[in-house]
Structure 1
């Protein structure tokens, strides 16, 4: 037993020395291992710093866009700019909405169509110096208090003020009392015919509209882009068209006299605000228009 104990002791010593050697080796390797562990432990901190440094500019770039609150609105049937601006709470009204989307809407703010995408809260508030489109016509101003925009020479009659409807000696009268807005034949690529086929009278919704002369109602109802409309065949064979009405007071087949109410003005159809679009035609159909004011003057109506 002692011999075995002696025999085991050396083995134990060798084992201890082996452990010591291993321990020494472990110690030898401990320093670089600890250094590597330390370096590895430092890596996440460095990565976080690098990620923060990388993400920060991205967040900074995204912040202005989010702060701007820019969104898109798709025009629906029955929309007009003033209605959209009111429902979407556009600061600056339809004029600001039109300025921000002039390149999409075109030269005539009354001709928007379903499916057109408008930017709300855009950055194009101020008209660009080289903008190829004309300023909004006076006929589409829903708020008369706003400063009157400049118009082209072709739209010069926009400063005309219509007198109160009064039947002339010939039995003809103005269709409504109100300021004349967009004139007849003003050019524009957004009109199907290439120009304005009638004359606009700037009046608020609910203004009484008069038959300009005696005749027979050809049609009274919905007219697409014209909204609610009335077409009257006058005694001399010409036709008078009234568009964008809020209410109809006559029906097809009915006879009317000069000065009789045929409806109330409004903003139905494709418009930016309430007004009367008035045409004189040689037929009841679109595209047969003649100058409305020239026609009325020829019948003794003072304008």
Structure 2
């Protein structure tokens, strides 16, 4: 039998077409392979059970789950580290604050200690000065009538509390029952109630002068008794015309009222500091 070609021009496929057809064929085979692979568990010969052959889809799901867990773990670690960092920062801040407070307290304690030391040193200095003064006075035969004495009311100070219109002596500040001493050696010429003076004592000294001690709470000597300089003769109080506990002290040229002289000048004249 004879074959004849159809009329018309026939061209060979060019390279581009051949390449396109090849690619299409490969794509088709790949598609068939993938479909066959996905369908193979249902139609596999030999009765193989499903799931024996793993597919790429299962692997992708497994990797996704693993990545999710990893992200959660990383987030947890980061949160833990952040919390730890905050705790460390808070601890450092608290430690710094405690250190600053301790330093402040230490500085305050040092300041107080220094102030207390200075106060004690001043007190010791004053005490030593008074001791030296008392020693000098005792050598001269005179002492102050009360220890650590300070004048609260001066001589000749005016006021309605005194019948003469002015103070005839000086008042030494002294609490109730402060020991009262004779300023010098002498003889007791009066010991008892002295009217406005309350309980009072008058002493005559060897130089012919007199001293008086008024408003006493109690008297420890009697008339005619000899006393030494610094000997206790009574306790301070607030008897007679008095507004509160103190010692009224007078220096006199005679035993009677109205013979008073400046008691501060008198004491200073015998080496005492008033």
**TM-score, length of structure 2 as denominator length:** 0.50
Higher percent of residues as helix:
2
